[in-house]
Chain A
Amino acid sequence: MNIIVCVKQVPDTNDIKIDPVKGTLIREGVPSIINPEDNNAIEAALQIKGEGKVTVLSMGPPQAEEALREAIAMGVDEAILVSDFKFAGSDTWATANVLASAVKKLDYDLIICGRQAIDGDTAQVGPQLAENLGLPQITYVQKIEVGEGVLKVQRALEDGYEIIEGKLPVLITVVKEINNPRYPTLQGIDKAYETDIIKWTADDIEADPAKIGLKGSPTHVKKSFVPPGKGQGIKLDGPTKDIAKQLIGILKEKEIIQEF
């Protein structure tokens, strides 16, 4: 099966710290990684590809090449970076348009995306890409079985799951529970530096200029700020029994817990 996996290079938000003086995000020195659920997507693709090939596709700045090399080190067959300053400022709608234009140049049976990226946290690009391509979508996939021309998957719900059969081609987004992504092997890392990353610009993918970049984005970020942290609260002191009484009393007063 030929599979396209869409990946995004993101800052490792686990490592993000807040400047105690300015109250702003410290972005320097934060390592860039492949978005964790995209790693799950790559792993899923590698597990089911069979005789076919896995291509990773990413829209990003030139440094995203590093993320694509990591994907090659994991074992994907081909990596494509779509990069152009015309894409800067794209929201999810515009990003989906760019990716769709790129995908249209490729052969595929299946597209796998991670559910959401840890910087934007929107989970929108996957479904929007599917819509753009006219493909059906299955989101929140936590288990995959391959059939004849179909995919049988488990889709996670808040209180259980669905078993869904989708005819290929289809786009799925996967959640981290689906697998444990493999580590790049030493041989893979070697190969990663010997392989050429294919690079496409806006012209290469014939992207509609009105639908990409900042100008092509319906939503704009007007302001960003660090959420004010909760202030230090009240420390309850004294013998345990008294503290317990005091706390329950406060909670009842505030109607946080009910009087029985």
Chain B
Amino acid sequence: MVKIKLTDNYPGSTLTIDGVMLSLGDDFVDVEKSLDLQQALNNGYVEIQEEKEENKVEEVKEGEEVWIFAEQRAGKFARVALELLGKARELADHQGVKVGALLLCDKDCGLSSELISRGADKVYLAESEKFKNYETLNFTKTICEIINKEKPQIVIYGATHIGRDLAPRIAQRIATGLTADCTGLNIDEDGLLIQTRPAFGGNLMAEIKCPEHKPQMSTVRPGIMKMLDKTEREGSVVKCEISLEEDDRIKVLEVIKETRKVANLEEAEIIVSGGRGVGSPENFKLIEELAKELGAEIGASRAVIDAGWVPKDHQVGQTGKTVTPKLYLACGISGAIQHRAGMQNSDTIVAINKDPNAMIFSVADYGIVGDLNKVIPALIEELKNGKTL
């Protein structure tokens, strides 16, 4: 028996499951597990009441740890690595095991303490000048050796350019499964990791398991998991031996940071996005101004990119970037599915469009039917007033 109730996704007002009639707004009721129930669950029409954790595991056992790859560049952690620590902490607590962080960095980098304060019980540290910059083969060899020695049950990486270069290589070498770009990680009744991820350009979600191979590995999208605040915590550093071979097949000649600020939309908290409704490249100034007031990044629909008003790295959508900011303001964007695919998982979506039938309103939490040429200046003024008070 499970306790279920109807969700808002259900298009009707009553649904009968296995003879039990559920109405919208009713509290949880008991039903038997059945095909009807499974179908309704698959469609997202019902939700199961979460079993309260009666016995949280008291004893933390050794081994079978949950690890994260602590991606860092030039001594600074990728934000996603710290987010992953938060998730790893949750998974490890559930399993009654410890959290480990794999840190490969330059000699004396001094980064271990932050990892511990953010949730790691152990930092597996490999220090070498060779790790100053990321390099596929060196990192792969070192991490595989550490994994083979310590045998964690789960290893998660940020789905960054580095993570997506490194993780598959490791998975292939160790001969284990890797799931890419996960948006959800949970443990099932059998203690296996359930990895939830989008496919088909975001049109479909899949739940993936890796039942017979260890460790279970995933790369995780930035901005999904929650970083823990720094706290005083106990943790240890395990220094790992490194045995690297000379391999000069790949040489990094130069690392260049773009002088033009490349839009880092994937890490943005707020995005102000403009579409064809903005009207002209000159008018895009409105978007820029609003973004400035909010401390936001600028996004754009494909139409605007194709028209050349804004550089390509601002494109949000299926063929652009997928973003999950806390706030997404869609201005003059019609909201075709290809654009929605890139932003519909934002926490809060506000849409401004003069067409009341624009598809963007179907995913907006707050909609304003109006002329953005009037609404945006009003918003800017309101924000400015708030600042001067």
Known interface pairs A167-B249, A231-B8, A233-B365; A240-B375 also in contact (CB < 8 Å): yes
Say yes or no: is B29 at the interface (Cβ < 8 Å to chain A): no
> Does the CB pair B248–A167 fall under 8 Å?
yes
> Does the CB pair A241–B378 fall under 8 Å?
yes
Look across to chain A and name the residue whose beta carbon is closest to the beta carbon of B344: A230
> Does the CB pair A260–B256 fall under 8 Å?
no
The DSSP consensus for interface residues of chain A is mixed
> Does the CB pair B201–A118 fall under 8 Å?
yes
Q: Which residues of B contact A123 (CB under 8 A)?
A: 164, 168, 180
Q: Which residues of B contact A138 (CB under 8 A)?
A: 250
Docked Cα-Cα span, A258 to B103, in Å, equals 34
Docked Cα-Cα span, A131 to B249, in Å, equals 14
Interface string of A116-151 (1 = CB under 8 A from B): 001111111111101110001111100000000000
> Does the CB pair A257–B205 fall under 8 Å?
no
Interface residue ranges of B300-322 to A (CB < 8 Å): 312, 318-319
Known interface pairs A140-B161, A224-B205; A248-B42 also in contact (CB < 8 Å): no
Q: Looking at the complex, which one of B350, B366, B378, B386 makes contact with A259 (CB distance below 8 Å)?
A: B386
Interface residue ranges of A152-203 to B (CB < 8 Å): 152, 155-167, 170, 176-177
Docked Cα-Cα span, A156 to B381, in Å, equals 38
Q: Which residues of B contact A243 (CB under 8 A)?
A: 368, 370, 375, 378
- The segment out of B120-128, B148-156, B208-216 that lies at the interface is B208-216
Q: Looking at the complex, which one of B166, B200, B362 makes contact with A230 (CB distance below 8 Å)?
A: B362
Docked Cα-Cα span, A141 to B317, in Å, equals 21
> Does the CB pair B256–A162 fall under 8 Å?
yes
Interface residue ranges of B326-346 to A (CB < 8 Å): 326-327, 337-338, 344
Docked Cα-Cα span, A121 to B256, in Å, equals 27
> Does the CB pair A247–B379 fall under 8 Å?
yes
> Does the CB pair B179–A219 fall under 8 Å?
yes
Interface string of A215-244 (1 = CB under 8 A from B): 001111111111111111111110011011
Q: Give the one of A229, A230, A252 with max B CB within 10 A.
A: A230
> Does the CB pair B169–A130 fall under 8 Å?
yes
Docked Cα-Cα span, A257 to B270, in Å, equals 8
Interface string of A1-29 (1 = CB under 8 A from B): 00000000001011011100011010000
Docked Cα-Cα span, A253 to B340, in Å, equals 26
Q: Looking at the complex, which one of A13, A232, A236, A241 makes contact with B368 (CB distance below 8 Å)?
A: A236
> Does the CB pair B257–A244 fall under 8 Å?
no
Interface string of B92-110 (1 = CB under 8 A from A): 0000000000000000000
Say yes or no: is B349 at the interface (Cβ < 8 Å to chain A): yes
Interface residue ranges of B167-200 to A (CB < 8 Å): 167-169, 171-173, 175-181, 194-195, 197-200
> Does the CB pair A222–B173 fall under 8 Å?
no
> Does the CB pair A250–B326 fall under 8 Å?
no
Instruction: For the complex formed, measure the closest distance between the CB of B334 and the CB atoms of chain A, giving whole angstroms.
Output: 15
- The segment out of A49-57, A71-79, A91-99 that lies at the interface is A91-99
> Does the CB pair B180–A13 fall under 8 Å?
no
Known interface pairs A119-B199, A127-B172, A228-B9; A164-B251 also in contact (CB < 8 Å): yes
> Does the CB pair A225–B42 fall under 8 Å?
yes
Q: Which residues of A contact B205 (CB under 8 A)?
A: 224-227
> Does the CB pair A219–B378 fall under 8 Å?
no
> Does the CB pair A223–B338 fall under 8 Å?
no
Interface string of B40-54 (1 = CB under 8 A from A): 001110000000000
Which chain B residues have a beta carbon within 8 Å of chain A's beta carbons? 7-9, 42-44, 136-137, 140, 160-161, 164-169, 171-173, 175-181, 194-195, 197-213, 247-258, 262, 264, 266, 270, 294, 312, 318-319, 326-327, 337-338, 344, 347-350, 361-370, 374-375, 378-379, 381-383, 386-387, 389
- A-B contacts, 28 of them at CB < 8 A, read A13-B200, A13-B203, A25-B200, A93-B175, A118-B318, A124-B164, A124-B178, A127-B166, A132-B172, A156-B161, A158-B264, A159-B262, A166-B251, A167-B249, A167-B250, A218-B176, A219-B195, A221-B207, A226-B204, A232-B361, A236-B366, A236-B368, A237-B369, A240-B375, A241-B378, A243-B378, A247-B379, A248-B386
Closest 5 CB pairs of A and B: A218-B177, A219-B177, A244-B378, A13-B201, A122-B180
Extra contacts besides A14-B201, A219-B177, A233-B364 (11): CB < 8 Å: A13-B200, A18-B203, A123-B164, A131-B169, A177-B312, A224-B204, A227-B202, A228-B7, A229-B363, A231-B9, A248-B382
